[in-house]
Amino acid sequence: MANSKGRRRRFGAIRRLKSGRYQARYPGPDGVMRPAPFTFETTADADDWLAEKQTEIRRGEWRDPEAGAVSFRAYADKWIEERELAPLTRDLYRYLLDKHLLSFSESDLDEITAPRVREWRTERLRATGAKTITAKAYRLLKAIMETAVDDELIQRNPCRIKGGGKEKAVERPIATVSQVDALANAVGMRWRLMVYLGAYGPMRPEELAGLRRRDVDLDALRIRVRLAEPERMNGRRVQGDTKSEAGTRTVVLPEFLRRELRWHLESYAEEGPDGLIFVGEKGAPFRRSTFGTKWRKARALVGMPEGFRFYDLRHTGHTLSTRSGATLKDTMVRAGQSSERAALIYQHSDDERQQEVAAGLDATVRRARREVQEAAVAAEDTGDPGDHRSGTDLARGE
């Protein structure tokens, strides 16, 4: 096609419209002629625009302008389905999409811009005041949009807020030995061992839910953590792997838990090798909601802070193990953590060392309990020491 000056155009075409403005079209790498998204006042302006498109194609930077016209929600749903995610992670992502990324659901991928992402984050922080959940939602959005870049649906990720996905971890509280004993007493006989294993295992709730009789060696005082049974948002538990490879481990328990463990196996655990260690009053696997009610009542009775979670018992166990002489590697092995694996790959924590850690933990707890008993005897005038001792007789394991 010849242009207005009589010379043949080498790339694209320009034609004058009835309005007097000019329309430019060009062939994409696929051979399809595509019009510019706007018209031009002069042929020179149209020429410049075509030159830019030709340069993009030659450099491999061209993107199909229709590629980004894909629904964000449809793309996000597919993004989740294509990944091998743990059930709880899948539930979390669905929750974030439904509750915190809802404002993007009706948008196409190319309509989500950097300014819009900044506005969304500001609105979320103002509306919820929850920096942690907003950071999680931002990280999910950024990951989805980064895949869209890889799929050549958009040219650049609009999530470019420095530190937008960082969570500032709040220092978690720890309990004293006496508080752990008090929580175990207050939560009820059926669940007291769960409190102790949560603190002195230290095991995650989903790991405790998956324990079977065949995982327990009472003579050697060991528990084999093989799997986890997290509870999904619909209330159902699903059996799966532990949180990481390091989560599959053998936990050596301190000696003071021998009597607790034996008593629980005889009184509450299901029969048979595959019998669950922890079941509810009606014989069903324990529910988070049911146990949560008992936990909150016990926490209030003991006088623990309202924010003290069952999971914080693990932090208590970490701290006590460290005070008992455990190294960082010892603590990681005991708690089933995989972080810093590369840095600690040449450090070892074998079975003998784990027994030493358990023995040190046993000594620490017994010493703390003895101090409480001695203080109670010294303050006989404030209460009946006989009643005080009977309340912790089983807890002492002596």
For residue 308, the model assigns a pLDDT of 92
Mean pLDDT across the stretch 30-37? 85
pLDDT(260) > 90: yes
Lowest-pLDDT range, 133-142, 207-216, 232-241?
232-241
pLDDT in tens, 284-316: 777 777 888 899 999 999 999 988 999 899 888
Q: How confident is the model at residue 129 (pLDDT cuts 50, 70, 90)?
A: confident
pLDDT at 392: 42
The mean per-residue pLDDT over the stretch 153-178 comes to 86
- Per-residue confidence at 199, pLDDT binned at 50, 70, 90? very high
- What is the percent of the chain with per-residue pLDDT over 70, rounded to a whole number? 83
pTM above 0.75, yes or no: no
Q: Per-residue pLDDT averaged across 387-391, rounded? A: 42
Q: What is the reported pLDDT for 239?
A: 65
Quick one: which of 134, 157, 162 has its CA closest to 145?
157
Contact 213, 278 (CB under 8 A): no
Give pLDDT, residue 8. Answer: 55
Amino acid 370: pLDDT: 93
Q: Is the pLDDT of residue 388 over 50?
A: no
